[in-house]
Amino acid sequence: MKNIKAWVVSLRLRTLPLALSTILMGSIVAAWDGAFRAEVLLWAALTTLFLQILSNLANDYGDALSGADNETRVGPQRMIQSGAISLGQMKKAIIILVALALISGLTLLAKAFDTDYWKLLAFFLLGLAAIAAAIRYTAGKNPYGYRGLGDIYVFLFFGIVGVAGSYFLHTNAWQWEVLLPASSIGLFSTGVLNLNNIRDIESDRKSGKITMVVRMGRNKALWYHAALLADGWLLFLIYAILTSRTMLLWPSLLALPLFIRNIVRSFKTREPSKLDGELRNLSLSILLFVVLNAVVLIF
């Protein structure tokens, strides 16, 4: 029973709403264009969940190997660090998640593209890149998460690839405007990572994990956080105006106070451990923002 609890903790279930937000946003934009497909949403969501869990496990594995998870870490204790899960067990779990993501991803592509093999091949290669990026974030030689590149990874895969990619899977067509809501979700998601790195700044600095926050320092990182969330809202406003869909703004505005509150609380919170609650709140606020954008589809 204890081992089961350890695996549940390692899955980091609180990160899953953020992963789902990317797929839901792309699906909602596709629905606005009259091209929603339920089977694409189902398999895209499942594939994304597998990739997110893979990323979480690989992150634990990589941080354990590098020593980034140590007694000075402020966040929730990792299971390899505590001894509840061995490195060998975690490696096997990572291999299983890679297999599940591949099976789910191939099923998704078959549903989306049928016999259009060029599109299928292109997205299959993109999927392999997503798997490699999830693993290489903190694992392997010279992981890019230790060189301040994690923010770019989150923006690309939780924003551009996740939202614009899922839109294309529904529609089999491309609209450049979709990059605006995709960038909004990418910036919001980067804000979640940034808060996580603000919380862990001291332990990351001591272990040699050079995040953007370590490079900038805490004060600049807080202003960077505010800019990420504000720019995300600005890009969505531009999208609504360019596409003559300003009615989209009204339901989603209900989530705006939660984003403002997150910025204010982040500046006021001096104790790193108390940022855990704001991490969870921001992830749920992003999901609420996405869900509220679906309201106009009902009427």
E strands within the chain? none
Q: Provide φ and ψ at 51, rounded to 5°.
A: -65, -40
Distance in angstroms (rounded) separating the CA atoms of residues 23 and 277: 24
202-215: b (≥16 Cβ within 10 Å) or e: ebbeebebbbbbbe
pLDDT in tens, 180-215: 999 999 999 999 999 988 988 887 888 777 888 889
Q: Provide φ and ψ at 141, rounded to 5°.
A: -80, 135
- C-alpha radius of gyration, the chain, whole number: 19
Contact 279, 272 (CB under 8 A): no
Compare 228 and 149 and report the one with higher pLDDT.
228
pLDDT in tens, 129-180: 888 887 777 665 666 767 778 899 889 988 999 999 999 999 999 899 999 9
**Is pLDDT at 73 greater than 60 in this prediction?**
no
For residue 79, name the pLDDT band (cuts at 50, 70, 90).
low
* Tokens representing residue 202 in the block: 């001291």
Predicted pLDDT of residue 54: 86
Contact 58, 139 (CB under 8 A): yes
Return mean pLDDT, the chain. Answer: 85
Q: Is 194 exposed, middle or buried (0-12, 13-18, 19+ CB in 10 A)?
A: buried
Among 55-59, 69-73, 196-200, the range of highest mean pLDDT: 196-200
Q: Is 140 exposed, middle or buried (0-12, 13-18, 19+ CB in 10 A)?
A: middle
* Tokens representing residue 254 in the block: 């209900």
State how many domains the chain has. 1
229-258: b (≥16 Cβ within 10 Å) or e: bebbbebbbebbeebeeeebbebbeebeee
Place of tokens 């291999």: 95
Compare 248 and 123 and report the one with higher pLDDT.
123
| Residue 247 domain boundaries | 2-298
Predicted pLDDT of residue 84: 67
Instruction: Return the CATH number at 44.
Output: 1.10.600
Contact 80, 87 (CB under 8 A): yes
Distance in angstroms (rounded) separating the CA atoms of residues 186 and 228: 9
Distance in angstroms (rounded) separating the CA atoms of residues 154 and 197: 13
For residue 23, name the pLDDT band (cuts at 50, 70, 90).
very high
Predicted pLDDT of residue 141: 67
Predicted pLDDT of residue 209: 78
**Is pLDDT at 299 greater than 60 in this prediction?**
no
Contact 209, 66 (CB under 8 A): yes
